[in-house]
Structures are given as structure tokens and as C-alpha cells.
């Protein structure tokens, strides 16, 4: 029978082991790296949204002292193997496959499209070299809106495709859509737009690629969410045997989905390194990051809702168009996830869903924290809109429609079981914490004074990793692997393919392993970021709490078993009578028998004991997610809208979250608050703006506005008691939830604040000018 | 190229730089003090904040040659012997940070601010730190770290 | 975003600086605080051939009061002016505007002269200078020239400084007793440039407005004085109705630009709101000072 580990660390806000180096400036980010002989790269980028490249003249650049190499798109075609973006290639979406070169050769397809790489002694000189390169372009008419892209007559971005429809256009139906709509009391139509915005981690993309001509080895120091995916990308696109590619990563300054695989620029830098036999560093600057690294969320939805007059949400029929930008990365995969998630925790009986993705002359639609988040925005917005139409309370509609927690669980109409979902509880919890009736009284008295306060709520679930599926493992990306060792110094080491970029894995995983194995927290080391030593893994999809927490727990348990099997010979006791706690192995009930784990390990390694037990204290563990489970929660925001200036202040924000068992509450809360801040930013501040000619208008932090300490209020978080589904692993992911549900929460509150004006909101971005427009339009209409 | 001498973290440091080189790049590239981070190079994000002659300054908006003869303190200078200062310890205790990229700028800005306003309350601290951008935390944990540091300094 | 190649001079006297400007004229940029110029150079939007760094000119850093006028040297750092009791007492409108400029780290380096020479119409100090009829003293090899604020701001980032001239000091009138001020702005975030900003100064004598100054930031290529609204206010007693009328008058003739932050209509609307709010705040402050 498995011993139940005394939980000392798990569940506690253990201080992070990452922080001493972070707080003293000793973090090691990719731009901090200096290698002997290292050179620096910069890119010439298209100033046009759409154009033919007629000629590239790099002669002056090549002559600039300090410039060592210039490679054009054409040069790189001879040095690399054509392919797709690694995330696109990994996940596969079906649909037309556009054919394009690593850097632009004959066609540029968005402002910022890289055309040539300049490698020089310093970044300053590389940029000087870029200034000297003359590119002759011929303007082509830009395709800047989905509407234009849908027109079969629009100039195709890719010569091998006939048009700009780039994702598989398909319609699915779940349940009896026609019948549900025919029988409904009320059928309402809405058109909802979500605007383009983007990840913007504080550290941009970058790498140092270092090719050793003697051995033929390529080492890439990367900022990535997976060293192994980066390795695969580099190996396949540069045509190097994977065994000769090593990817290393140190500290990473955030990502939120941006840094997966290897970007075109990183591959170009690697090719340049190989050509030169010297390390080449490329770290993008903020203009590149904002204009060229990719953006997300630009989607539009036509939603038809079938409801009863009492507020039963019977069916939804949704047609979406996704603006994929030019080069496909993640956009075409998002609609199918949205389709699956749209019913949320509700009893929705019928869903029709149709999606189209189009190519436009903009930066690529990439993964951004909760890539499918717009399904929650659309659903939670529609519920409030229906509530207004029917004259019902939106909270009541939600509670009325939440699927009850039954056994067997209620099935989402799209096929997944709503097992362990606590949406009703989280809605009731936020309502209680906020004291809605008291707020309504305050709202009324403030309205009388000309002040507009509003309250909004929204609820969501997230497959983090999702419930066990009939096919086998939970979660989008399959089994999670980990190697665990016990060394003769008594240190337990976890080798994981997770690549933390703010998630604190080096702390949380150590907490779990320390508890399960029985050593102090400081006696566990977590190794990440080296393809030579860690198993395959990827940090993303909010999977690590369950998948990696689970493999750490089970792996530590297996390792403990091995150690006790050997120790039983040492102690001349049965392994079942032995314990490991506080770093000592001892016979239960006999504390004087204690021997430090290090001593046991030393003896095993010494070979002094010949035993019929495994003395190599190493475990290769794999975990399929166990029962998995949903994460989710309900959020509530109270806002004030200044109806004269359009400025919105978030006065109060309350979140009730259920992410199962907490590994480290402070880490969980940090993730939630960070996601909510991005959601507030999306609604009030952030927009990746293109003009009618496809010129990018948000390429500095003066134009792309991020929320600051004055924009994000104190966020109150209430954790719900989880519904445990698994005997051991009930940690669920929490990384993306805040960003998924915060936008509808805030927009619902703004609409409530503007109710006296009769405002209805069908969009996500509400800067001050737009608020005043909505008020004026409602007045006029 | 200009030969310059700058006092950095109490030590005279010399370098030979083009006048166009920013103080941020000088610290990072020439002096190997990579704790100061570059987040935007146009003076908005605050990741590059250092203290020059007692004042918080965006090192991406100063030329290295302009720092000649000044006293510059970077994050590496706050805990030279390894022991964390009050602010750093309070931030550790408060789980202030996640990815850590913005951290040096916040630590230097908060150090400068608390030095002048040791009794600052939450709203003042939020305003004082509103010129530093963090993408991970939503700021609350950072504010808590600064408030805790201020409280501990008062109690000391 | 690295700065392009540039030659660099660090004169040690104003005379030397002015000599360098005479030599290089339009090919040179004067580097004061650098908080506006260095970003432009990092973005490679500004590419002067020569930088004339005037940070060594300590004689340009001063605040002095003579005969009802406050002289502020061009290299006076914004944070120094912000902390200055003299500025607070004698130019309260400047004191009200300074904390709104960017963030503390910007004000550590940014200078009064630099901001006014850069002449961003969305910035706070140009509106203050126009509201108070400040005087700009520029120096060249031929001597000093005094330019009134009404003639200083010529267009977007353009002033009447000649290429061989350097701004050495700005003079503000000292506020008279009974003066209340306000700097109102609508900005996307704390510390951002104003979408629309308004510098307001009201002087009350026995409850009657005897002087009224209103100057907008962010509604044109240059700060805009609301002279007609000012005329409407003088001789009247403060009241909500008066302020409403002044707001209508102030925005009647303006044609603000449109950009990512808002349409022309939006700017007009909030401009009117700022006039109402600013006048009320200034009137309240004036009562405090009588």
C-alpha cells in the first residue's frame, strides 16, 4: 500500500528558489549570454504590407567595417529546408498549406516581414548595415481585413493557393440544431468582434546560435517554451541530424505562447552561424516584437442564440471568421478548440459551429495565453445580452443553465464530460463576496449623482488538462515524462522538459517531490533547459500542474520505492516498515534507526552491498494525467465609467477559482492576477492596430499600451474546495484562466455601468473614445 | 570612441565607447553587469532603471558618455556580499515576481522611491511604480513587497 | 533600436555650445535631458550628424525670482523644478503640471528647456508656457533674443528657434495673489501624454475673475489658447453656468486631430469637460489663496 506522504510543502506558499538570483540581477536570460567570437544579427524588414521584392542590393552593407555577413531570403533558401512554422507543423490543422520561404524572397506579406539578415560585430553595426541595404519593392494591393480576404477576387498572398481562405472551412453540428431553434421562444442574433492584441512578454524573442564547424554540432541558447521543440525545428529546417543539435535555455522573460519552436529569424541566425562557424546572437527589439513577432485574437462571430422566455439557454449557432495574418502559426487550430469549449459548463443542448480562417497582410496569428479564449468572451457576452433582452438577471440565467454535477457527469454537447466542475459554486461565491444587492443600492444612489458604476460577472472552464478522455491520456499533448535521480549527496534531481518562464516550476515541482520522497525542500533540484539531459516536454496549455506535478509525484514515489527496496537490506527490515522523512530513512517507530538518505545513496553507489535490488537510483517516469479534470472559476468586476471622458476604472475585482489542489497558493494567485491584468489590458488599453494600407501603428510602447500598477486593482481571490477526481493528483492548471475570463467580466461590467444609456456592447476593445461613441450611438438610436 | 570612467556600484569602471552607446548597453556589454535589462529602448517599460547620482534613471535614455563622473548603482550593487537587502528580502517573502525580467527595474525604482518616501502608502507606491511595466504579476505582489519592505524598515 | 552613428560634442560653456550651433546649425541636435531625443534616435527617426550635449552647462540650471518674474534655466531638471518651493509658490501652474510629466525616472533627466524646445503639443509644459505668456530666451553668437510664448510654438515639434540659437532660459510671470490653477488632462494611463490637456489659471479679486488663462495641449500642432473663453470669464463671478458657457466657447473654434486615441469629435468633447473641471478646480484653489 502506498504511503501517504505528509504534506508539508504542497499547499504552502513556499518561497521560490528562483528568487535569490532574480532579485540580485543574476538571472541568465539569452541576451545576457556572451560567447567567444560571438556576432550579432539584425534584420531588414519590409516597410510594405504587400509587395514584390524586385531586387536586394547589399553591396554597401557588406562593405561596412564590422559587417561580417549578409544573407538575403534567396541565400537562405539554399541553406535551409523549406517547411512550416514548428507549432503549425506540430499540431497540424488540415486545410491549405501555403508555400513560402524562410525569409521573404519574391514577396513580402506584412510590415516587418524579414527580407535579409545582417551579421556584424555589434548590434549597433548590424543595424547600420541594415540601413545600407537597398530593397526595391513593387507595391501590391494589401489585404488588410477579413472581409477583403474572403473575397475570392482579393490578391492571393500565396501563389500556390488560389485564394486567401487558409483554414479548413467546415461546419459541425451537435445536438438537434434545427429543431432547437425552431422550438425556441426567442431567437436572437448578435455580431461580436474581438480585436487583435498580443502577448508582449517583457523579454522578446531571441537566441544565440553556435555552430561548431569541427564537430558539426549546433548549439542553440534559446528563449523557448520547449527546448525539444526548438531542437526539432532547428534540426529539421537546417537539415542537421537531431543528435547534433543541442538546445539550452536559462531564464526566460515571459512568453505567453510567443516562444514555441523556432521563429524564422532564429532559424536564419542559426543558418548564419553555420555559414560562419561562429556564434550569432539575435534578440529582437521592442519594435520587432510588436510589429513582427505575431499577434492574436482577431476574430469575428455571428451568433444566433435560442432561448426560452425564462432564460433557458437552449442552443447556439456560431459562424466565426479568424484573421490569421500572413504566415500560419496557430490561428487555424483555434476554431476547433473554440467549438469544443463553447458550451462551457452549461447545459446547452445544441450547437452549430462554422469557421473560416483567412490570410491577410498582417503579422501571424500566434498562440496567446488561452488561444481559444474568445469562446468564453462570446458566450458570456451573449448571456448578458440575452439577459438584457429578456429582462432577467444575468447571474440568475447563469445559475439556471449551469449543468448540475451528476454522476455520471453531464456531457457537453460537444462530447466532453463535465466532471468535477464547480461553476455554480464559484458563481455563488463571487456573488456572496461582492454582495450584489448592496452594490445595486450603491449603484442607484451614485447614478442619481451622475456617476456610472457597473458590475459584471463571467464564468469559464478550461481543460487544464481536461478530463480523462476515452483515447487515453488527458490533455492536448499526451504523456508527460520525467527522470528522477537520487545522488550520493542525498539530492533528488528532477529532469523535466518543462521550460518555466515565470511559472516557478523549480519551486513547485520540488515541493511535490520533497513531500512524496521525504526530503527537505532544499534537497530537491529541478533541472530544465537542456535537450541533452531533459525528456521531451513543453510548457503550455496550462498542463504542468497536473501532468508535471503528477509525474513528479508518481516518479518520486517510484524512486522512493527503489530506495526503500535497497534500504531494506541495509536496515534488515521489510521495505513496508521503512519510512523516509526529513531526509532520513528509518524504521517506523524507531527514530534511532535513522540514516540520512545521502548515506543510503552512498552505500548503494559504493557497491559494498551486493543486493538483489536496483542500486541505480534513477527512475524514468511517465504520467498520463490520471483522471485529469477541469479548471475554472467565476470572476466579478466592479467598474466606474466616466461618461464625460470615457475613462474606465476597475474599482474592484473578485475571482473565485477552482484549480483543484493548490501546490503553491502564492504561485497560483500570481498566475491568476497576471492573466487578469492582461484581460483588463485587452479591454481598456491594448490593440494591435493596422491602418487601411496595412501599416502597423502600434510598434512602440507609446502606442501599444500595457496596463500599469495604476490600472490593475487589488484582485481578491477565493479558492474553492476542489472535487477530487484522482487518488493522488488533483492539481489542475491555472496559467490561462485569468486571461480567458477577465475580458467578458470587465466588458459585462462596463455594459452594466452604461445601462442607463441603453448601451449594448458587441466588441472587446473599449478605449475612452469608443465608450463615448457607444453612449452617443445609444442616445441616437 | 571616447574613454570614460564611471563609478559603478562603488568601483571606478573604465571603458572605451562610441558616444551613441547607451548607458544600458555599456553596463551590460562592456561591464558584464547584465542584471540591468533592456525591455523597450524607448524609455517606457522601466526594465533598464538604474540609480544615477541618487536618482532613478532609465539607462536606455542616457548615453554612457553622459555617466562619466557620476555614481551609478545597478541591481548588482544592492547586495554586493550576497546578503539580500530589506527590499529584496521583502520581495522574496511576498512572491513579488515571476519571470524576473522586469525585476531589476522595479527593485531600483522602488529603492530610489522608498529612500525619499519611506512612509509611502499603497496608492503613492502604485503611482511611483507606474512607470515600470510587468507582464506577469498584475503588480499586487510587487506592491506588497514594497509595502512590506517599508514596514520592516520602519520597525528596524 | 540602436542609435545611429553620430558625432558628439560636450561643450563646457554656453558660449562654446552656441559656437558649435553656429558651426553645425541644422545638422546638430542639442542634447538636454534626452528623454525625447534619445528615443527618436533609437527608433532612427532622428539622425542628427552632431549631438551637442549641454548637460555640462551648470550655469543653465537655476531658478530665480526677480521683479515678479521667475527665470528658470533651460537645463533645470524637471524633478528639481517639481521639488522647488520657489516654483511652487511663484509659478503654481508649472508646479501643478510637473508631476504629470511621464514618470519619476523621466523627470530625473528631463529638463524644462528641453521639453519646451522639443515642443510636443501633447506635452504639459508647452501648454503652461502658452497659458502664462512665458518668454523664451535664446542665445546665439549675435546675442540674446526674447521670444514670447505666443510666437515660440510654430508647429508640430517646431519652434521659432533658429538653427544657430540655443534656448537658455524661460521666464514666467509670478502668480499674483488670488490666483488658483489647475492642470487637467485625460490620458490613457497615469503618466502618459495627454489625449487632451488643459492649463488653467484664474485670478480672483474680491470674488471676481480678474485674469483667466486657458491653454490646451493635444488639440492641435501647437498649444492653443482659448482666448475667447478667457474674455468671457474676466469680470464675472465663478459659477457652473459661467464655466459651461466658457467650455462651449473654448471648443467652438477648435479642430483637433484624430489618432489611435480618439477622433476629432472625441477630443472636442473631452476638451469641453476639461474646461468645466479645470475652471472649477482653479476657482476652488483661488479661494484658498486669497
Best residue in A292, A645, A682 for a mutation probing chain C (most C CBs within 10 Å): A645
Query: Is residue B100 within 8 Å of residue A253, measured between CB atoms?
Result: yes
Residue A88 pLDDT level (bands cut at 50, 70, 90): confident
In a domain, A644, yes or no: yes
B63/C56 Cα distance (integer angstroms): 14
Q: Averaged over A9-34, what is the pLDDT?
A: 97
In a domain, A773, yes or no: yes
Q: Report the run of H or E that residue A423 belongs to, with start and end.
A: helix A423-434
B85/B79 Cα distance (integer angstroms): 6
Establish how many alpha carbons lie within 13 A of residue A326's alpha carbon, considering only the half-sphere containing its beta carbon. Answer: 32
Exposure of A93 by Cβ count < 10 A (0-12 exposed, 13-18 middle, 19+ buried)? Answer: buried
Among candidate residues A623, A646, A680, the one where a domain is terminated = A623
Chain A hits for B8, CB-CB cut-off 8 Å, are none
pLDDT of res. A609? 75
Contact assignment for B101 to A286 by CB distance below 8 Å: no
Best residue in A23, A290, A637 for a mutation probing chain B (most B CBs within 10 Å): A23
- DSSP letter for A111, please: T
Instruction: Concatenate the DSSP letters of all residues of A244-284 into one string.
Output: GEEEE-------TTS-SS--HHHHHHHHHHHHHTS-EEEE-
Q: Averaged over A709-734, what is the pLDDT?
A: 93
Query: Are A708 and A641 found together in one domain?
Result: yes
* Residue of A97 and A426 predicted with greater confidence: A426
Query: Are A457 and A537 found together in one domain?
Result: no
Query: Is residue A291 within 8 Å of residue A364, measured between CB atoms?
Result: no
Q: Averaged over A343-368, what is the pLDDT?
A: 97
Homologous superfamily (CATH) for B2-77? Beta-grasp domain (3.10.20.30)
pLDDT digits (tens, 9 = 90+) for A419-446: 999 999 999 999 999 999 999 999 999 9
pLDDT digits (tens, 9 = 90+) for C9-29: 999 999 999 999 999 999 999
Q: Averaged over C150-176, what is the pLDDT?
A: 97
Query: Are A644 and A742 found together in one domain?
Result: yes
Query: Is residue A675 within 8 Å of residue A740, measured between CB atoms?
Result: yes
Contact assignment for C105 to B49 by CB distance below 8 Å: yes
Contact assignment for A769 to C263 by CB distance below 8 Å: yes
Contact assignment for B20 to C41 by CB distance below 8 Å: yes
pLDDT higher than threshold 60 for residue A6: no
pLDDT of res. A772? 97
Contact assignment for C189 to A647 by CB distance below 8 Å: no
Instruction: Concatenate the DSSP letters of all residues of A59-103 into one string.
Output: HHHHHSTTEEEEEEHHHHHHHS-----HHHHHH---S------SS
Residue A167 pLDDT level (bands cut at 50, 70, 90): confident
Q: CA of B93 to nearest chain C CA: how many angstroms apart?
A: 26
Among candidate residues A623, A644, A675, the one where a domain is terminated = A623
Q: CA of B44 to nearest chain A CA: how many angstroms apart?
A: 6
In sequence order, what E strands does chain C have? 7-9, 28-31, 50-53, 63-66, 69-73, 135-140, 143-148, 153-155, 158-159, 166-173, 179-186, 196-205, 208-217, 224-225
Q: Which domain covers residue A735, as residue numbers?
A: 411-470+629-780
Residue A379 pLDDT level (bands cut at 50, 70, 90): very high
Query: Are A600 and A709 found together in one domain?
Result: no
Residue A721 pLDDT level (bands cut at 50, 70, 90): confident
Residue A170 pLDDT level (bands cut at 50, 70, 90): confident
pLDDT digits (tens, 9 = 90+) for B79-137: 878 789 999 999 999 999 999 999 999 999 999 999 999 999 999 999 999 999 999 99
In a domain, A520, yes or no: yes
Query: Are A635 and A774 found together in one domain?
Result: yes
Q: Which residues pair with A317 in a beta bridge?
A: A304, A352
Q: CA of C198 to nearest chain B CA: how many angstroms apart?
A: 21
A56/A575 Cα distance (integer angstroms): 72
CATH topology of domain B86-155: DNA polymerase; domain 1 (1.10.150)
Query: Are A486 and A612 found together in one domain?
Result: yes
Query: Are A617 and A637 found together in one domain?
Result: no
Residue C233 pLDDT level (bands cut at 50, 70, 90): very high
Q: CA of C145 to nearest chain A CA: how many angstroms apart?
A: 35
Among candidate residues A598, A623, A648, the one where a domain is terminated = A623
Q: Round the CA-based radius of gyration of chain B to a whole number and report it.
A: 15
Residue C173 pLDDT level (bands cut at 50, 70, 90): very high
The cell numbers describing A164, all together, are: 486567401
CATH number of residue A645's parent domain: 3.30.365.10
Predicted complex ipTM exceeds 0.85: yes
Q: CA of B131 to nearest chain A CA: how many angstroms apart?
A: 7
Among C4, C35, C190, the residue with its CB nearest the CB of B130 is C190
Number of C-beta neighbours around residue C19 at 10 A: 17
In which order are the strands placed within the sheet that holds A186-194? A170-174, A350-358, A313-323, A299-307, A186-194
Best residue in B42, B65, B116 for a mutation probing chain C (most C CBs within 10 Å): B42
Query: Are A423 and A538 found together in one domain?
Result: no
Contact assignment for C270 to A705 by CB distance below 8 Å: no
pLDDT of res. A470? 73
Q: B-C interface: how many C-beta pairs under 8 angstroms?
A: 85
Grid-cell match 531658478, residue found: C63
pLDDT digits (tens, 9 = 90+) for A553-586: 999 999 999 999 999 998 999 999 999 999 999 9
Residue A91 pLDDT level (bands cut at 50, 70, 90): confident
Chain B hits for A256, CB-CB cut-off 8 Å, are 135
Q: Report the run of H or E that residue A554 belongs to, with start and end.
A: helix A544-571
- For chain C, the straight-line distance linking the first and the last C-alpha, in angstroms and rounded, comes to 52
pLDDT digits (tens, 9 = 90+) for A586-626: 999 998 999 999 999 999 988 887 777 778 899 999 999 99
- DSSP letter for A616, please: S
Query: Are A734 and A770 found together in one domain?
Result: yes
Q: Report the run of H or E that residue A121 belongs to, with start and end.
A: none
Buried b vs exposed e over A696-727: b needs ≥16 C-beta within 10 Å? bbbbbbebbbbbbbbbbbebebbbbebbebbe
In the predicted model, what is the mean pLDDT of chain C? 97
Query: Is residue A171 within 8 Å of residue A336, measured between CB atoms?
Result: no
pLDDT of res. A611? 72
* A646–C contact, CB cutoff 8 A: yes
Residue A90 pLDDT level (bands cut at 50, 70, 90): confident
Q: Averaged over A139-161, what is the pLDDT?
A: 96
pLDDT of res. A4? 40
Q: Look at chain A and report how many structural domains it folds into.
A: 2
pTM for the complete prediction? 0.97
* C201–A contact, CB cutoff 8 A: no
Contact assignment for A25 to B35 by CB distance below 8 Å: yes
Q: Averaged over A108-130, what is the pLDDT?
A: 98
Grid-cell match 542559426, residue found: A270
In a domain, A62, yes or no: no
Contact assignment for C189 to A710 by CB distance below 8 Å: yes
Query: Is residue A543 within 8 Å of residue A729, measured between CB atoms?
Result: no
Q: Averaged over C148-157, what is the pLDDT?
A: 98
Q: CA of A645 to nearest chain C CA: how many angstroms apart?
A: 6
Q: How far is CA A59 from CA A106, A108, A130, A268, in A?
A: 19, 21, 11, 19
Grid-cell match 561580417, residue found: A68
Query: Are A618 and A759 found together in one domain?
Result: no
Residue C288 pLDDT level (bands cut at 50, 70, 90): low
In a domain, A728, yes or no: yes
Q: Averaged over A491-496, what is the pLDDT?
A: 98
pLDDT of res. C258? 94
Question: Domain residue spans in chain B?
Answer: 2-77, 86-155
The cell numbers describing C28, all together, are: 546638430
pLDDT higher than threshold 70 for residue A477: no
Q: Which residues pair with A30 in a beta bridge?
A: none
- DSSP letter for A212, please: E
Chains in contact with B, where contact requires at least 3 CB pairs less than 8 Å apart: A, C
Exposure of B119 by Cβ count < 10 A (0-12 exposed, 13-18 middle, 19+ buried)? Answer: exposed
Chain A: residue nearest B38 by CA? A203
Amino acid at each position: 500500500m502506498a504511503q501517504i506522504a505528509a504534506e508539508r510543502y504542497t499547499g504552502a506558499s513556499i518561497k521560490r528558489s528562483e528568487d535569490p538570483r532574480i532579485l540580485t540581477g543574476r538571472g541568465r536570460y539569452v541576451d545576457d549570454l556572451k560567447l567567444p567570437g560571438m556576432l550579432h544579427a539584425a534584420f531588414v524588414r519590409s516597410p510594405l504590407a504587400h509587395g514584390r521584392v524586385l531586387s536586394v542590393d547589399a553591396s554597401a552593407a557588406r562593405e561596412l567595417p564590422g559587417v561580417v555577413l549578409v544573407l538575403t531570403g534567396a541565400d537562405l533558401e539554399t541553406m535551409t529546408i523549406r517547411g512550416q512554422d514548428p507549432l503549425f507543423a506540430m499540431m497540424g490543422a488540415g486545410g491549405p498549406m501555403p508555400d513560402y520561404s524562410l525569409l521573404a524572397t519574391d514577396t513580402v506579406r506584412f510590415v516587418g516581414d524579414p527580407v535579409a539578415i545582417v551579421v556584424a560585430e555589434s548590434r549597433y553595426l548590424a543595424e547600420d548595415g541594415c540601413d545600407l541595404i537597398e530593397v526595391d519593392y513593387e507595391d501590391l494591393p494589401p489585404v488588410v481585413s477579413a472581409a477583403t480576404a474572403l473575397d475570392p477576387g482579393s490578391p492571393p498572398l500565396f501563389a500556390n493557393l488560389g485564394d486567401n481562405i487558409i483554414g479548413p472551412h467546415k461546419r459541425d453540428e451537435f445536438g438537434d440544431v434545427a429543431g432547437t431553434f425552431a422550438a425556441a421562444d426567442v431567437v436572437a442574433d448578435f455580431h461580436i468582434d474581438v480585436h487583435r492584441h498580443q502577448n508582449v512578454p517583457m523579454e522578446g524573442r531571441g537566441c544565440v546560435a553556435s555552430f561548431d564547424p569541427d564537430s558539426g554540432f549546433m548549439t542553440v541558447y534559446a528563449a523557448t517554451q520547449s527546448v525539444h521543440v526548438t531542437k526539432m525545428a532547428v534540426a529539421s529546417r537546417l537539415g542537421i541530424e537531431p543528435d547534433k543539435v543541442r538546445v539550452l535555455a536559462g531564464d526566460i522573460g515571459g512568453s505567453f505562447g510567443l516562444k514555441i519552436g523556432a521563429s524564422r529569424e532564429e532559424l536564419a541566425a542559426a543558418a548564419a552561424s553555420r555559414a560562419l562557424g561562429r556564434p550569432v546572437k539575435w534578440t529582437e527589439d521592442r519594435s520587432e516584437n510588436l510589429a513582427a513577432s505575431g499577434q492574436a485574437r482577431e476574430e469575428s462571430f455571428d451568433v444566433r442564440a435560442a432561448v426560452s422566455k425564462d432564460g433557458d439557454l437552449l442552443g447556439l449557432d456560431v459562424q466565426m471568421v479568424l484573421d490569421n495574418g500572413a504566415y500560419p502559426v496557430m490561428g487555424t487550430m483555434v476554431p476547433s478548440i473554440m467549438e469544443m469549449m463553447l458550451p462551457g459548463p452549461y447545459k446547452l443542448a445544441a450547437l452549430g459551429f462554422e469557421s473560416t480562417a483567412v490570410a491577410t497582410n498582417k503579422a501571424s496569428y500566434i498562440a496567446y495565453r488561452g488561444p481559444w479564449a474568445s469562446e468564453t468572451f462570446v458566450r458570456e457576452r451573449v448571456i448578458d445580452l440575452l439577459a438584457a433582452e429578456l429582462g432577467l438577471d444575468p447571474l440568475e440565467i447563469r445559475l439556471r443553465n449551469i449543468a448540475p454535477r451528476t454522476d455520471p457527469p453531464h456531457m457537453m454537447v460537444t462530447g466532453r464530460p463535465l466532471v468535477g466542475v464547480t461553476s455554480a459554486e464559484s458563481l455563488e461565491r463571487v456573488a456572496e463576496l461582492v454582495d450584489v444587492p448592496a452594490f445595486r443600492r450603491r449603484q442607484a444612489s451614485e447614478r442619481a449623482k451622475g456617476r456610472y458604476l457597473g458590475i459584471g460577472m463571467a464564468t469559464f472552464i478550461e481543460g487544464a488538462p481536461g478530463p480523462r478522455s476515452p483515447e487515453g491520456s488527458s490533455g492536448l499533448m499526451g504523456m508527460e515524462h520525467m527522470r528522477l535521480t537520487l545522488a550520493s549527496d542525498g539530492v533528488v534531481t528532477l529532469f523535466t522538459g518543462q521550460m518555466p518562464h515565470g511559472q516557478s516550476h523549480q519551486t513547485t515541482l520540488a515541493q511535490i517531490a520533497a513531500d512524496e520522497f521525504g526530503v527537505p525542500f532544499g534537497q530537491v533540484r529541478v533541472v530544465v533547459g537542456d535537450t541533452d539531459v531533459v525528456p521531451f516536454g513543453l510548457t503550455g496549455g496550462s498542463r504542468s500542474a497536473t501532468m508535471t506535478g503528477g509525474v513528479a509525484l508518481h516518479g518520486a514515489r517510484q524512486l522512493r520505492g527503489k530506495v526503500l527496496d535497497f534500504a531494506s537490506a541495509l536496515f534488515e527490515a521489510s521495505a513496508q516498515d521503512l519510512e523516509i522523512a526529513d531526509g532520513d530513512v528509518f524504521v517506523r517507530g524507531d527514530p534511532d534507526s535513522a540514516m540520512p538518505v545521502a548515506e543510503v545513496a552512498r552505500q548503494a553507489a559504493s557497491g559494498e552491498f551486493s543486493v538483489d535490488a536496483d542500486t541505480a537510483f534513477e527512475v524514468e517516469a511517465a504520467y498520463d494525467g490520471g483522471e485529469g479534470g477541469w479548471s475554472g472559476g467565476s470572476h466579478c468586476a466592479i467598474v466606474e465609467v466616466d461618461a464625460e471622458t470615457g475613462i474606465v476604472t476597475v474599482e474592484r475585482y473578485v475571482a473565485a477559482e477552482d484549480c483543484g489542489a493548490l501546490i503553491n497558493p502564492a504561485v497560483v494567485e500570481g498566475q491568476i492576477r497576471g492573466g487578469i491584468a492582461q484581460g483588463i489590458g485587452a479591454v481598456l488599453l491594448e490593440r494591435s492596430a493596422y491602418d487601411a494600407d496595412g501599416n502597423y501603428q502600434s510598434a512602440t510602447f507609446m502606442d501599444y499600451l500595457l496596463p500599469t500598477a495604476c490600472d490593475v486593482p487589488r484582485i481578491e481571490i477565493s479558492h474553492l474546495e476542489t472535487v477530487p477526481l484522482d487518488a493522488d493528483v488533483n492539481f489542475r492548471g491555472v496559467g490561462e484562466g485569468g486571461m480567458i475570463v477577465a475580458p467578458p467580466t470587465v466588458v459585462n461590467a462596463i455594459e452594466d455601468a452604461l445601462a442607463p444609456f441603453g448601451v449594448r456592447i458587441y466588441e472587446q476593445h473599449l478605449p475612452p473614445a469608443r465608450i463615448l461613441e457607444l453612449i452617443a450611438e445609444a442616445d441616437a438610436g | 570612441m571616447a574613454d570614460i570612467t564611471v563609478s559603478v556600484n562603488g568601483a571606478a569602471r573604465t571603458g572605451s565607447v562610441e558616444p551613441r552607446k547607451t548607458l544600458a548597453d555599456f553596463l551590460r556589454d562592456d561591464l558584464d553587469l547584465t542584471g540591468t535589462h533592456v525591455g523597450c529602448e524607448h524609455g517606457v517599460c522601466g526594465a533598464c532603471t538604474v540609480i544615477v547620482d541618487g536618482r532613478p534613471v532609465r539607462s536606455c535614455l542616457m548615453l554612457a558618455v553622459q555617466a562619466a563622473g557620476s555614481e551609478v548603482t545597478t541591481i548588482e550593487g544592492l547586495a554586493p556580499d550576497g546578503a539580500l537587502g530589506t527590499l529584496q528580502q521583502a520581495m522574496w517573502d511576498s512572491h513579488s515576481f515571476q519571470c524576473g525580467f522586469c525585476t531589476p527595474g522595479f527593485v531600483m525604482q522602488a529603492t530610489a522611491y522608498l529612500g525619499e518616501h519611506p512612509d509611502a502608502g499603497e496608492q503613492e507606491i502604485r503611482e511611483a511604480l507606474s512607470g515600470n511595466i510587468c507582464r506577469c504579476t498584475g503588480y499586487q505582489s510587487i506592491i506588497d513587497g514594497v509595502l512590506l519592505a517599508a514596514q520592516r524598515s520602519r520597525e528596524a | 533600436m540602436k542609435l545611429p552613428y553620430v558625432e558628439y560634442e560636450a561643450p563646457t560653456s554656453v558660449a562654446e555650445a552656441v559656437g558649435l550651433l553656429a558651426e553645425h546649425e541644422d545638422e546638430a541636435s542639442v542634447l538636454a535631458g534626452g528623454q525625447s531625443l534619445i528615443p527618436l534616435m533609437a527608433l532612427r527617426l532622428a539622425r542628427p550628424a552632431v549631438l551637442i550635449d549641454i548637460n555640462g552647462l551648470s550655469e543653465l540650471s537655476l531658478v530665480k525670482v526677480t521683479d515678479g518674474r521667475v527665470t528658470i534655466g533651460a537645463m533645470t531638471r524637471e524633478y528639481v523644478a517639481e521639488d522647488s518651493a520657489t516654483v511652487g509658490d511663484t509659478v503654481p501652474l508649472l508646479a501643478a503640471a510637473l508631476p504629470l510629466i511621464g514618470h519619476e525616472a523621466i523627470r530625473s533627466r528631463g529638463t524644462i528647456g528641453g521639453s519646451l524646445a522639443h515642443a510636443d503639443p501633447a506635452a504639459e509644459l508647452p501648454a503652461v508656457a502658452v497659458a502664462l505668456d512665458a518668454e523664451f530666451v535664446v542665445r546665439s553668437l549675435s546675442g540674446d533674443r526674447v521670444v514670447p510664448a505666443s510666437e515660440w510654438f510654430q508647429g508640430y515639434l517646431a519652434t521659432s528657434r533658429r538653427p544657430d540659437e540655443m534656448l537658455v532660459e524661460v521666464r514666467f510671470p509670478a502668480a499674483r495673489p488670488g490666483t488658483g490653477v489647475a492642470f487637467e488632462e485625460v490620458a490613457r494611463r497615469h503618466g502618459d501624454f495627454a489625449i487632451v490637456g488643459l492649463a488653467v489659471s484664474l485670478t480672483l479679486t474680491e470674488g471676481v475673475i480678474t485674469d483667466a488663462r486657458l491653454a490646451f495641449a493635444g488639440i492641435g500642432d501647437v498649444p492653443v489658447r482659448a482666448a475667447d473663453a478667457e474674455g468671457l470669464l474676466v469680470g464675472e463671478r465663478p459659477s457652473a453656468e459661467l464655466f459651461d458657457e466658457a467650455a462651449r466657447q473654448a471648443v467652438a473654434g477648435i479642430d483637433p486631430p484624430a489618432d489611435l486615441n480618439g477622433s476629432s469629435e472625441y477630443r472636442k468633447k473631452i476638451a469641453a469637460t476639461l474646461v468645466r473641471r479645470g475652471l472649477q478646480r482653479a476657482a476652488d484653489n483661488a479661494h484658498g489663496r486669497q
